[in-house]
Amino acid sequence: MLPKITYGQLMKELDKYRPNRVSGDYTKQQDEFILKCRDSKNPVSFNKMTELWTKLGWSKISKSALRLRWYKLKQQ
């Protein structure tokens, strides 16, 4: 049987399962980073981009989120 928790504890626990970023919450510098990494004869992989993104202190982001943002930027 699972231990009982309070509603407040549950809300804090739920934060672990929420995405790290809100769609559309990108700065101009972040958009430039995405385009610079991908617009090349030898583009940087999305896996490596997530590592670099985190090293820049921009929080964690998934490779699928970067891929979606790149597609959106390319369509503009």
Tokens in use for 1?
């049987």
Q: What is the pLDDT along the chain (76 residues), one digit of tens a residue?
A: 777 888 888 888 887 776 655 556 899 999 999 999 999 999 999 999 999 999 999 988 999 999 999 999 999 8
- The single-letter code of the amino acid at 8 is G
Distance CA(62)–CA(20), nearest Å, equals 8
Domain boundaries, the chain: 27-75
Question: What pTM was computed for the model?
Answer: 0.68
Distance CA(50)–CA(16), nearest Å, equals 19
Q: How many CA atoms lie within 13 A of 4 on its CB side?
A: 1
